[in-house]
Amino acid sequence: MAGRTSQGSPGRQRLLPGDLECVRSVGMFDGIDAGLIDPLFEHATVETYAADTLLFSAGDLADRFFVVVEGRARLFALTAEGKHTTITFVEPGMTFAEGAIFGMRFFPINADVKTGTRLIHVPRDPFVERLLAEPELPLKMLAALARWQGRLVDAVAELKTRSPSQRFAAALLAMTDRVSGPAEVPLQISKSALANRIGIAPESMSRVFTRMRDIGVIVDGGVIRIRDVSTLRDHISTG
């Protein structure tokens, strides 16, 4: 990864209307009026990364949190040998590091992004000051988070009822904007990270790939070739 950007990065800009639409849709603001949300981001900036970038390292001061607008961020830990262990990927419309700014002084893990990722940077101090200036807003956010958590619990419960190949099909659907016909999806993570994402052991991925070949999905090196995207949807429904 390239070196991290500084807070004063020349690539950082004010939020555009599309960026504000993105922050209004994140889980912690579910059901809250835009008139209350937008002032929270008065001091936020947005950056589209021109190179692979390390955002922060474990132990850095937690002075901001982030919203992913495009691309995705990776949260990872380092082993004693210096190897990366991916914890999760943060997709568009999701936040990360907000727990660190509220409950910790330092980031507990590392984060990086790939070229082309667009992130909103939300500095801690003005965000918290504005939040505390609206007495009802923290309670509204807690209620929004409760609703969001409820949906996540339901989603996890539903996920557990699906077979590994159905989970893989759902992950592929999330990676393409095609609704039918052929598609190619770049495999930007390792197969072990992919296995972790769909909740199976890495050694089981070969069986999943074999099952997916039966419905026209071929993993070809770093590309996943899909014969017909609608077949994935049918597979999730019927198995």
Position 222 confidence tier, pLDDT thresholds 50, 70, 90: confident
46 and 148: one domain? yes
Question: What single string gives the DSSP state of each residue in 143-195?
Answer: HHHHHHHHHHHHHHHHHHTS-HHHHHHHHHHHT---SSS-EEEE--S-HHHHH
233 and 118: one domain? no
Most confident of 4-13, 113-122, 165-174: 113-122
Position 2 confidence tier, pLDDT thresholds 50, 70, 90: very low
31 and 67: one domain? yes
- What are the tokens at 219? 């993993």
With respect to residue 153, please indicate whether it lies within any of the assigned structural domains.
yes
Q: Say if pTM beats, i.e. exceeds, 0.75.
A: no
CATH of residue 107's domain is 2.60.120.10
Nearest to 172 by CA among 216, 114, 118, 112: 216
Say which residue, 191 or 210, is predicted with more confidence.
Answer: 210
Q: What is the tens place of the pLDDT at every residue in 153-203? A: 655 565 567 888 888 888 888 777 777 889 998 876 677 777 877 778 888
Nearest to 96 by CA among 81, 117, 126: 117
Taking a C-beta distance cutoff of 8 angstroms, is the pair 169, 197 a contact?
A: no
The pLDDT value recorded for residue 7 is: 42
Mean pLDDT over 27-49 rounds to: 90
The pLDDT value recorded for residue 57 is: 95
With respect to residue 8, please indicate whether it lies within any of the assigned structural domains.
no
Could you give the percent of the chain with pLDDT greater than 90?
31
Position 150 confidence tier, pLDDT thresholds 50, 70, 90: low
Taking a C-beta distance cutoff of 8 angstroms, is the pair 111, 67 a contact?
A: no
Position 67 confidence tier, pLDDT thresholds 50, 70, 90: very high
Count other C-beta atoms under 10 Å from residue 33's C-beta. 11
Among 157, 190, 212, where does a domain finish? 157
With respect to residue 2, please indicate whether it lies within any of the assigned structural domains.
no
With respect to residue 3, please indicate whether it lies within any of the assigned structural domains.
no
Which residues span the domain enclosing 204? 162-238
102 and 117: one domain? yes
